Amino acid sequence: MPSAAVLGPMVLPLITAAVMAIFGFAGVNLGRVAAAVGGWGAVLALLVVWVPIRSSLELTLGQLGFGSAFDMRIDGVTFAFGLMIAIPAAILLTLQPRAWPQTVVAMLGLAAALAAVEAGGIVLTAIAGGTAATLAVVLLDTEDPRASRPSWAMLLAGWLALAWFGVMLQVGGGTAVYNAVPVATVTGPLFALLAGSAVLVSCVFPWRTWPAELWSRPSLRAAGVTVATLYPLGFYLLVRGYELGDGRYPHQLFNVALAGLGTIVAFAAAARAQAAPTRRRFLGEVVPGLGGFALAAIALGTPLGLVAGLILLATASLLIACLALLPDHAGIASLVTIAAAVGLPPGISFAARVVGIEATFEAGDFLGLIGVAGMATWATWMVGGARAIGLPGGRGHPSVETFPRISLVIALLMLAAGPAVAAIKVAYADPVAAEVMQSSAGSLTGGLVNVVTVSSVLPALTLLVPLLIFGAFVYAISGASTVRTQSRPALFKVPGAASAARMREALRSATVPEQYRSMFNLRGLETAAAGGRPLLWLGMLIALGFAVTR
């Protein structure tokens, strides 16, 4: 396989975008066909490059000018995250009709996100990720400037922080290439910067942020693509963090803190979900919830936790496509989607969460308590899911962008994929662990049938296949029950949530008190600064002279 093949996954969407733009300017909208070619082309390119060799392929083309070489590679991590990004984007670009400029921007965003996970070094990842973020903001704002979108400053802050982390590694260790950074360079404070940027990039916070907010937009065309391309990138950084530290984070405190954060995020999402006034609001919390579970699993620092987290993220990425295509009216599609989202057995979400929670117990050192908290969170999700089935649908989306049958198929696929969890682990997640946790990845065994953990074995195929058949049979013979659609009260209110919201609102609307306004009179300051007052200039000069003599 020639090294240049690594460019395929990101170049194909770029070429498609260019062709669409040219035709678009000529007044011809190539539409969904071209978009599908670009999107699925990227997926195909990833498969073609990775599957035959299943080992790292790298292309280095010399320095770019900011201390980094043009170094792109496809390895297990790139493959896993690339599919996570490209598949939902491809589904949405194929099905949802868009104006050609929006398709072009979405294509460019996809290419940038893929470049971010293909980049061999941190600075290059920061530049590509920052590009993806910029394009996402452009895409969302042009679709509907009044609808909610991620804070551009927050996204930029995340990518800038990552760039700074990269240059710190370059200065300290001579390189910021993932697999070449000296382990000793990645100190605790430095890793805190990486973790902070990762959290900012994916906005993994306990409060309601863009991964949940975007689903309340009037149209979900831009929202789906944005969440699909941006949300996994923060987790990608945390996974690469293991590679930088030779299979572990610099201090176990990072594992505990990040796992704790993940659980808190998942619980906060669950708490909001069980109080959601509409089904759409509930579904909006699904991705942050799964992200929280995934973060908790990935941060454990064990190969088992890592693979569980990756499978959860992959499930979330499929759900993104599913949610963007799902209409808001009640029906079997909504029902099955909710069941798949909350992890009804024998779905893949169920199996992955079970493995993730088992991993917390086996990680030792009180991390089992995080597993207990994870179980409590999952229970809250179950409650929220059961409640959401009978909630009003919420604001409807244009029917032209919803595809109930496709979303139903995706949801059924997720429910039926549970028995394949071991196979998915072997083919999809294990290579990631082998890449970033080379020393301990050998503990992952079990083959295509079982997921073997230290203390037990999950008989994925042998237990879940009969369960799947039994489930299909029992639901097939069950009679119909009328689900009463009604506004349902929240089971509980998060203590302090209301006061926190009030505080946030107060901060937002904070103004300088009347009696102090004159001190902050911008016009007055502007006149003073731009007026060319001789005394001011002389004063500045004297002050500077005084300063340099200190």
Partner 1 sequence: MLPESIELLAFAAASLVFALAFAPALAPRRALAVQGGAGLAGTAAVAAAPAFDLAVLGLMLLAVLQAAVGGKRTFAACLKAPGVAVALLALAALFARAEGPDLLQRFAAVGLAAGLAAAVGLLPYLHTFDPEEPIAASPVAWLAYIGPVVAAVIVADAHGLLTADAGAAFGAVLIGFGLVNMAWGSVGAWLTENTGAAWRYSFAADWGLALSGFGITLADGRRAALLVLFTVVLGRLPLYLVSGRSGKAPVTDRPINLLVAAALAGSAPFAGFAARVLLLRGATQLFWPLALVLALGMLLWLPGSLRLGRSLGIPRRRQAVGVALVLAANVAAGLYPLPLLAAAGL
Partner 2 sequence: MIQLLLGIVAHAVALLLYPGLATMAAFGAVVELARMRLSRRVWEWPELPRRRPTPVVATVALCAVVAAVQTSAPFNPIAGDERSVVLAAVALTFTAWAELALTVEFVAEPGLLLIVQVCWLLAVLGPAVQPESLRPQVLGNLVVPGLLPVKIACAFLYLLCLPALLRLWPFTPPADKRVRQRLDAGRVLTWFPYCGLFTTMFITPSIDDAAGLLRFFGLTLAIGVVVVGFSVFLRWRGSAIARGLYTRVIAPFAGLVLLIVVITSTLLR
* 51 sits near partner 2 (criterion: CB under 8 A): no
- Reported as type and span, the H/E element at residue 451 is strand 451-452
386 touches, from partner 1, partner 2, none (C-beta below 5 to 8 Å by class): partner 2
Cα–Cα distance measured from residue 259 to residue 255, given in angstroms and rounded to the nearest whole number: 6
**Angle subtended by helix axes 404-416 and 332-342, to nearest 10:** 30
Pure H helices in 51-121 = 76-95, 100-118
Q: Which amino acid is at 421?
A: V
Instruction: Find the part of the chain contacting partner 1 (CB under 8 A) among 75-83, 224-232, 261-269, 524-532.
Output: 524-532
526 touches, from partner 1, partner 2, none (C-beta below 5 to 8 Å by class): partner 1
Among 478, 509, 511, 549, binds partner 2 (CB under 8 A): 478
Torsion angle of C-alpha atoms 268, 274, 276, 280, degrees rounded to 10: 90
CA angle 173, 175, 176 (to 5 degrees): 110
Contact 288, 428 (CB under 8 A): no
Choice between 185 and 360, CB closer to partner 2 = 360
Among 240, 280, 397, 488, binds partner 2 (CB under 8 A): 488
Q: Residue 99: exposed, middle, or buried by beta-carbon count in 10 A (0-12, 13-18, 19+)?
A: middle
* 304 sits near partner 2 (criterion: CB under 8 A): no
* 267 sits near partner 2 (criterion: CB under 8 A): no
User: By CB under 8 A, how many residues form the interface with partner 1?
Assistant: 52
* 344 sits near partner 2 (criterion: CB under 8 A): yes
* 353 sits near partner 2 (criterion: CB under 8 A): yes
Largest CA distance in the chain: 91
User: Measuring CA to CA, which residue among 250, 495, 252, 453 is closest to residue 370?
Assistant: 252
290 touches, from partner 2, partner 1, none (C-beta below 5 to 8 Å by class): none
Among 53, 66, 439, 491, binds partner 1 (CB under 8 A): 66
Interactions with partner 1, residue window 87-116 (CB under 8 A): 101, 105, 112
Instruction: Find the part of the chain contacting partner 1 (CB under 8 A) among 4-12, 60-68, 178-186, 402-410.
Output: 60-68
* 548 sits near partner 1 (criterion: CB under 8 A): yes
Q: Residue 459: exposed, middle, or buried by beta-carbon count in 10 A (0-12, 13-18, 19+)?
A: middle
- Sign, CA dihedral 75-81-83-86, equals negative
Instruction: Find the part of the chain contacting partner 1 (CB under 8 A) among 52-60, 132-140, 313-321, 500-508.
Output: 132-140
User: Measuring CA to CA, which residue among 226, 169, 176 is closest to residue 203?
Assistant: 226
User: Measuring CA to CA, which residue among 403, 385, 412, 423 is closest to residue 475?
Assistant: 412
455 touches, from partner 2, partner 1, none (C-beta below 5 to 8 Å by class): partner 2
Which chain residues interact with partner 2 by CB under 8 A? 343-345, 350, 353-354, 357-358, 361-362, 364, 366, 368-369, 371-372, 375-376, 378-380, 382-383, 385-387, 389-390, 449-450, 453-459, 461-463, 465-467, 469-471, 474-475, 477-484, 486, 488-489, 491-492
